[in-house]
Amino acid sequence: MSRASPFGAATVMLALAGPAAAQDQRTVSAHNMQLAVEICLRNYRTEQTLPQAFGAAGFSVSSGTDAGFASFSADGVTGVFSTSPAQGYCSVQSTLVDLATAGNLGGRIAHSLFPGQVHAGGPEHPVGAPLPPCAGLQVFAPQQLITITYAAAGNSGECITDGTSAVVINM
């Protein structure tokens, strides 16, 4: 996408300028995935502002197939999010961003937005046990636990290294 727009008052300005301009497709996809993950994490307590935040950043936004959900897309990424505080959820997928890159960018964004509040593994992960490759993160955000997990793109939720990725955020 080549359009970058300023954000409205309800959304904090993102560190990124907007969807990536013309570059190689993998770089564009990684940039857009990073931007989408950041939008989701910045709006973790105001899910109802997600449609405006994605639209202002240059993503295409449409109503989802289920009530309370919406879809978004930009070059190389697609996703879905919930606009209901009772179902805080955001998923960003790409067939061009590999799992390692998705994990690195998810962790980088979480640590920058919630310094000192990010821990490896999910809530059920036994303390001291080795972490599997897609274990994800727990973010002890103000007033709420956020979990971030990683998987291959698609609906399987499996940790398959096939050159695709999904970042799933439960808020």
* pLDDT for 67 beyond 90: no
CB 138, CB 118: distance < 8 Å: yes
Give the range with max mean pLDDT: 20-24, 78-82, 160-164: 78-82
Domain count along the chain: 1
Supply the mean pLDDT for the chain: 83
Residue 54: what pLDDT? 96
Is 17 a member of any domain? Answer: no
Is 34 a member of any domain? Answer: yes
Is 2 a member of any domain? Answer: no
Q: In this prediction, what percent of the chain has a pLDDT beyond 90?
A: 56
Is 42 a member of any domain? Answer: yes
Give the Cα separation of 107 and 101 in Å (integer).
10
Residue 8: what pLDDT? 33
Question: Once rounded to an integer, what is the mean pLDDT over residues 42-58?
Answer: 91
Is 47 a member of any domain? Answer: yes
| Angle at CA of residue 46, ends 40 and 50, nearest 5° | 50
What is the pTM for the complete model shown?
Answer: 0.82
The encoded tokens of residue 68 equal 């309370």
Structural domain of residue 87, as residue ranges? 25-170
Give the Cα separation of 126 and 167 in Å (integer).
22
- The three-state secondary structure class of 73 is strand
| Angle at CA of residue 147, ends 143 and 152, nearest 5° | 160
